[in-house]
């Protein structure tokens, strides 16, 4: 921070809001992201057009596979200004098969927007994400989406959140009319109503008419009276909005709306800009917290290739944790102790990028062609070493043997598999039984293999075959256990690219059988995402 004072760094950090959009699959994350960008005037027209015939891809879904399937399989960083704030928004994949990517993102933000489908309530993945946020100390803003369609009662959703998460709901908006028969939104604080004039397909900003209490009562007598009564009941039971309770995860601010119709978005965006927490001190591996005005430090949470097919570059996305980033500065790569030059640095807007010269705590910087960096790595400036906690390896439950489909493409095949493994798309494992030409790929969910096939074909011009392997359990083992297990035909010893040995088993019965036969062997089962939370998540507050 040669040219920047501590006060300047604190001032810039205070303007930043780093937030992730998370949910169960198909709750509308990418559509909400588009709606937020639209209302922030970052785009002129939303990319999600209602109706399959007219549907277009969104800014955040830029991969060919995402556009073809209409789902997000990759997290995307988008930075845009709103009012006095600068928002770093991350749209995450919702499908459970891509939980690892979502987990990485949640290590790099300060709050989360939890999107809930009004008709389905809290689903399996929703609850897992609430758990991740709780363990990481991330405040949660709850958005009840799709209120323009039939769904559950508003109070029933409030009760469900309280019963299943332990958090009380603090409504910032409340629906006038039940789900599917939506007249507008009540502002509980000012006792006014917003009535929305929808635009075709929700591609443009929705126009809102402001109605006074008397006007709303005159036009929507029963629905308005019910909305006021329910909001009042909830406030008397849970109390009015309390920012301390929000930041402490004791309560969640609640918004209602329809992302596809751009309804209720303005209030949510204003709340994020005004009330979401700015960057704070982050703890390192020694539990020492680093204030935002210390020397520069950053945490690499994602590696992405293929964003620019013309150049086939590789980008490491790093969250600035403290100090100021200046393009061209030489930082230290904590994991190797070597200097790291930052000549090529960019900020992202979906797939589009532009050079960034300066970044502050809370910002996300894309470091181009950063071959030495891995997800979970730390960069720092100054003389004092800074190392932030690494990302855990989650237990793969699905395994495939990869074979190059074209004998003339082996070089591209090897490079592509290695690169996708470094990104964390899959875990790349090597077995003496199969040889270097036939790596084993391990994944949390089978859809990860679809991404591998698509990207190997499209980015590396190396089509491949994947053969199903009959394993479902992985244990971390030592060399002695590896020698013993090598002799078992229905077990397999593989090495991760970081050198860690794993034992693969077809089922839990076989694992228990080997443990009984060799009680002294080191067989440490790898933990899934749910199990890792209590061991690996480091609260940041």
Q: Examine the pLDDT at 283 and tell me if it is beyond 90.
A: yes
**pLDDT confidence of residue 55:** 39
Q: End-to-end alpha-carbon separation of the chain, Å?
A: 24
Q: Does a structural domain hold residue 7? A: no
- pLDDT grade, residue 533 (50/70/90)? very low
Average pLDDT, the chain: 87
Pairwise pLDDT comparison (46 vs 221), residue with the higher score: 221
Domain residues for the domain of 405 are: 398-535
Q: Does a structural domain hold residue 71? A: no
Q: Examine the pLDDT at 199 and tell me if it is beyond 70.
A: yes
**pLDDT confidence of residue 349:** 65
Query: Which of 275, 305, 333 corresponds to the end of one domain?
Result: 275
**Cα–Cα distance for residue pair 47/35, rounded to 1 Å:** 9
Q: What is the mean pLDDT of residues 267-276?
A: 97
Q: Which CATH number characterizes residue 508's domain?
A: 3.30.70.3280
Pairwise pLDDT comparison (149 vs 371), residue with the higher score: 149
pTM (global) more than 0.95: no
Q: Does a structural domain hold residue 521? A: yes
**Cα–Cα distance for residue pair 144/119, rounded to 1 Å:** 9
| Per-residue model confidence as pLDDT tens digits over 64-86 | 544 454 444 556 788 899 999 99
**Cα–Cα distance for residue pair 222/226, rounded to 1 Å:** 6
Work out how many domains the chain is built from and give that number: 2
Residues 171 and 24 placed together within one structural domain of the fold: yes
Enclosing H/E stretch for 143: strand 140-145
Query: Which of 275, 307, 342 corresponds to the end of one domain?
Result: 275
**pLDDT confidence of residue 530:** 47
Entry field: residues in the chain? 541
Residues 118 and 267 placed together within one structural domain of the fold: yes
Pairing of strands 314-322, 364-368: antiparallel
Percent of the chain at pLDDT > 90 equals 62
Within 10 angstroms of residue 345's Cβ, the number of other Cβ atoms is: 23
Q: Examine the pLDDT at 527 and tell me if it is beyond 80.
A: no
45 to each of 56, 61, 352, 360, how far by Cα in Å?
11, 15, 16, 29
**pLDDT confidence of residue 155:** 96
Looking at 401-485, list the stretches that DSSP marks H as alpha helix, in order from N- to C-terminal side: 410-423, 447-458, 479-485
- pLDDT grade, residue 309 (50/70/90)? low
* 448's tokens: 């990860």
**pLDDT confidence of residue 18:** 96
Contact between 248 and 506 under an 8 Å Cβ cutoff? The reply is no
| Per-residue model confidence as pLDDT tens digits over 328-341 | 999 999 999 999 99
| Per-residue model confidence as pLDDT tens digits over 488-518 | 888 999 999 888 999 999 998 998 999 999 9
**pLDDT confidence of residue 489:** 82
Residues 270 and 402 placed together within one structural domain of the fold: no
| Of 109-118, 198-207, 443-452, 464-473, the least confident | 198-207
Cβ-proximal residues to 183 (8 Å cutoff; 6+ apart), any chain: 176, 177, 193, 195, 220, 223
**pLDDT confidence of residue 53:** 36
Q: Examine the pLDDT at 169 and tell me if it is beyond 90.
A: yes
| Per-residue model confidence as pLDDT tens digits over 366-418 | 998 888 899 999 999 999 999 999 887 788 899 999 999 998 999 999 999 99
Q: Examine the pLDDT at 298 and tell me if it is beyond 90.
A: yes
Query: Which of 275, 302, 318 corresponds to the end of one domain?
Result: 275
Contact between 93 and 102 under an 8 Å Cβ cutoff? The reply is yes
* 98's tokens: 């891509």
Q: Does a structural domain hold residue 448? A: yes
Q: Examine the pLDDT at 202 and tell me if it is beyond 70.
A: no
DSSP letter, residue 11: H
Contact between 291 and 283 under an 8 Å Cβ cutoff? The reply is no
Q: Does a structural domain hold residue 434? A: yes
* 47's tokens: 């990319």
Q: Does a structural domain hold residue 263? A: yes
User: What DSSP line would sit under 376-391, residue for residue?
Assistant: T-EEE-SSS---PPPP
- pLDDT grade, residue 353 (50/70/90)? confident
Enclosing H/E stretch for 419: helix 410-423
Q: Does a structural domain hold residue 384? A: no
β-sheet bridge partners, residue 338: 333
Q: Which CATH number characterizes residue 211's domain?
A: 3.40.50.300
């Amino acid at each position: 921070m040669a040219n920047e004072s501590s006060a300047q760094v604190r001032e810039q950090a205070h303007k930043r809001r780093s937030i992730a959009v998370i949910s169960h699959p198909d709750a509308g994350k990418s559509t909400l992201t588009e709606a937020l960008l639209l209302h922030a005037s970052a785009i002129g027209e939303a990319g999600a057009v209602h109706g399959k015939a007219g549907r277009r891809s969104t800014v955040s879904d830029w991969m060919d596979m995402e556009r073809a399937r209409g789902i997000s399989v990759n997290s995307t960083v988008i930075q845009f200004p709103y009012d006095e704030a600068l928002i770093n928004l991350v749209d995450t994949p919702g499908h459970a098969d891509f939980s690892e990517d979502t987990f990485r993102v949640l290590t790099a933000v300060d709050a989360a927007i939890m999107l809930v489908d009004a008709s389905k309530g809290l689903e399996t993945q929703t609850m897992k994400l609430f758990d991740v946020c709780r363990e990481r100390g991330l405040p949660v803003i709850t958005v009840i989406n799709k209120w323009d369609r039939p769904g559950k009662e508003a109070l029933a959703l409030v009760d469900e959140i309280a019963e299943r998460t332990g958090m009380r709901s603090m409504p910032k908006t409340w629906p006038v009319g039940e789900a599917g028969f939506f007249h507008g939104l009540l502002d509980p604080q000012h006792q006014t109503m917003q009535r929305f004039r929808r635009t075709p397909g929700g591609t443009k900003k929705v126009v809102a008419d402001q109605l006074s209490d008397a006007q709303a009562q005159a036009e929507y007598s029963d629905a308005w009276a019910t909305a006021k009564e329910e909001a009042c009941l909830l406030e008397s039971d849970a109390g009015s909005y309390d920012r301390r309770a929000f930041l402490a995860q004791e309560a969640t601010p609640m918004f209602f709306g329809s992302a596809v119709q751009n309804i209720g978005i303005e209030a949510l965006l204003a709340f994020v800009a005004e009330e979401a927490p700015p960057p704070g001190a982050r703890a390192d591996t020694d539990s020492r917290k680093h204030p935002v005005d210390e020397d520069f430090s950053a945490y690499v949470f994602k590696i992405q290739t293929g964003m620019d097919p013309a150049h086939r570059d590789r980008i490491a996305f790093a969250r600035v944790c403290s100090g100021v980033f200046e393009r061209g500065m030489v930082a230290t790569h904590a994991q190797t102790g070597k200097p790291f030059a930052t000549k090529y640095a960019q900020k992202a807007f979906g797939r589009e990028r532009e050079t960034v010269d300066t970044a502050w705590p809370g910002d996300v910087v894309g470091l181009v062609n950063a071959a030495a960096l891995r997800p979970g790595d730390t960069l720092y400036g100054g003389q004092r070493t800074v190392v932030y906690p690494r990302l855990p390896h989650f237990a793969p439950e699905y395994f495939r043997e990869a074979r190059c489909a074209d004998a003339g493409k082996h070089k591209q095949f090897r490079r592509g598999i290695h690169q996708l493994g470094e990104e964390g798309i899959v875990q790349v494992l090597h077995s003496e039984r199969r040889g270097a030409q036939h790596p084993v790929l391990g994944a949390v969910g089978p859809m990860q293999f679809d991404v591998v096939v698509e990207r190997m074909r499209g980015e590396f011009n190396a089509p491949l075959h994947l053969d199903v392997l009959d394993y479902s359990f992985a244990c971390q083992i030592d060399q002695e256990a590896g020698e013993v297990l090598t002799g078992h035909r229905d077990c397999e010893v593989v090495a991760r690219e970081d050198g860690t040995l794993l034992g693969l088993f077809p089922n839990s019965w076989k694992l228990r059988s080997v443990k009984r036969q060799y009680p002294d062997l080191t067989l440490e089962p790898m933990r899934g995402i749910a199990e890792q939370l209590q061991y690996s998540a480091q609260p940041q507050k």
